[in-house]
Amino acid sequence: MTDYPHVDGLVVEVDGAVLRARLDRPDRRNALTDEVVDALIDTIETGGNDDTVRVIALSGTGDSFCSGFDLGTRGKPEIRPRLGATQRQLRGGINRLIPTLLETQTPIVTAATGHIIGLGLNIVLASDFAFVSDDARIRAPFTTLGFTPDSGASWLLPRLIGVARAKELLLLGREITGARAAEWGLVHRAEPVDEVAGEAEALVAELASAATVAVGLAKLLVHRGLTVDLEHQLADEAWALELSSRTDDFKNRAKNMREHNDPGFQGR
């Protein structure tokens, strides 16, 4: 059995081909701590290298997905930190989370309701598919608290919804609903609150039986394509096609189509 982290505030379990990670601090609207962030990073990295896992499902306990980072858990240091301490701390901790979500080839499906704020919002944005409740309260409140966006917010938002809308969220701290987020293309879908989990679970099941290697490589291509020119992207596509066409899933699908037989993909 693969060893996954065990910390207060994060529930992790492997359910067949599905790795489930649930934020579990409902009394704080699942606000994140340094320990939970580190454990979530380790969980995603481990799941991405676990050959039994074909999809990762993220959720939160209670009515809210995540209200951001819990600054109250850090307290006040006894000694005043040197200038630059914040950026050094971010580099070794929180700033590892969003790249891990984006770079892991295992697809990630997130179900989120209620408050989706700050770092919690960035987790949703970095997921491959996010289902949110249509009445969710979505906000990036950094400037309204007197500091600047972090953990990738200023990178993710302009790419997903354009500069004008990103400025509305990041500079003004405006709150939008889940329904508006879906309308803007910020999330995959918005659903009535009591249907979010079921809709997300249906997609989790679909991905758990998909051609896992091909799906993972397609995810990699989408993200690489945002930062390279067409020539490099075509080369990456050729490389991914070479790999995917050597998988058992590809070979078996071709054989089964000839024989009019469809046992499904095995994720290999």
Q: What is the pLDDT of residues 79-135, one digit of tens each?
A: 665 544 455 454 556 889 999 999 999 999 999 999 999 999 999 999 999 999 999
DSSP state of 134: T
What value, to the nearest 5°, has the Cα angle with vertex 106 and ends 255 and 193?
110
b/e 103-137 (16+ beta carbons within 10 angstroms → b) = ebebbbbbbbbbbbbbbbbbbbbbbbbbbbbbebb
Least confident range of 82-96, 122-136, 141-155, 220-234? 82-96
Tokens 């790999």 belong to: 243
Is the pLDDT confidence value at 258 over 70? no
**How high is the pLDDT of residue 110?**
98
**How high is the pLDDT of residue 260?**
61
Average pLDDT of 166-177?
Answer: 97
**How high is the pLDDT of residue 251?**
87
Give the percent of the chain with pLDDT over 70: 88
**CATH class of the domain whose range is 10-208:** alpha beta
Determine the Cα–Cα distance for residues 7 and 116; give it in Å rounded to an integer: 22
Average pLDDT of 164-190?
Answer: 97
Whether residue 190 contacts residue 133, with contact meaning beta carbons closer than 8 Å, is answered with yes
> 11: phi > 0 → left, psi -120 to 50 → alpha, else beta; which?
beta
**How high is the pLDDT of residue 85?**
46
Determine the Cα–Cα distance for residues 113 and 187; give it in Å rounded to an integer: 12
* Domain boundaries along the sequence of the chain: 10-208, 212-258
Is the pLDDT confidence value at 58 over 60? yes
Q: Output 54 or 76, whichever has higher pLDDT.
A: 54
**How high is the pLDDT of residue 30?**
97
The pair of three-digit structure tokens given for residue 205, joined into one six-digit string: 């099941």
| Alpha-carbon separation of residue 268 from 91, 164, 209, 218, 246 (angstroms) | 35, 43, 11, 15, 10
Q: Output 72 or 205, whichever has higher pLDDT.
A: 205
Is the pLDDT confidence value at 75 over 70? no
Is the pLDDT confidence value at 18 over 90? yes
Determine the Cα–Cα distance for residues 227 and 71; give it in Å rounded to an integer: 33
Whether residue 58 contacts residue 109, with contact meaning beta carbons closer than 8 Å, is answered with yes
The pair of three-digit structure tokens given for residue 94, joined into one six-digit string: 């929180």
**How high is the pLDDT of residue 74?**
58
Is the pLDDT confidence value at 179 over 60? yes
Is the pLDDT confidence value at 161 over 60? yes
Close Cβ partners of 45 (under 8 Å, ≥ 6 residues apart): 100, 104
Whether residue 71 contacts residue 28, with contact meaning beta carbons closer than 8 Å, is answered with no
pLDDT-based confidence at residue 268 (cuts at 50, 70, 90): confident
Q: Output 268 or 18, whichever has higher pLDDT.
A: 18
DSSP state of 80: P
Give the percent of the chain with pLDDT over 90: 79
**How high is the pLDDT of residue 100?**
96
Q: The dihedral of CA 166, 170, 173, 175: what is its sign?
A: positive
Q: Output 242 or 78, whichever has higher pLDDT.
A: 242
The pair of three-digit structure tokens given for residue 242, joined into one six-digit string: 């070479």
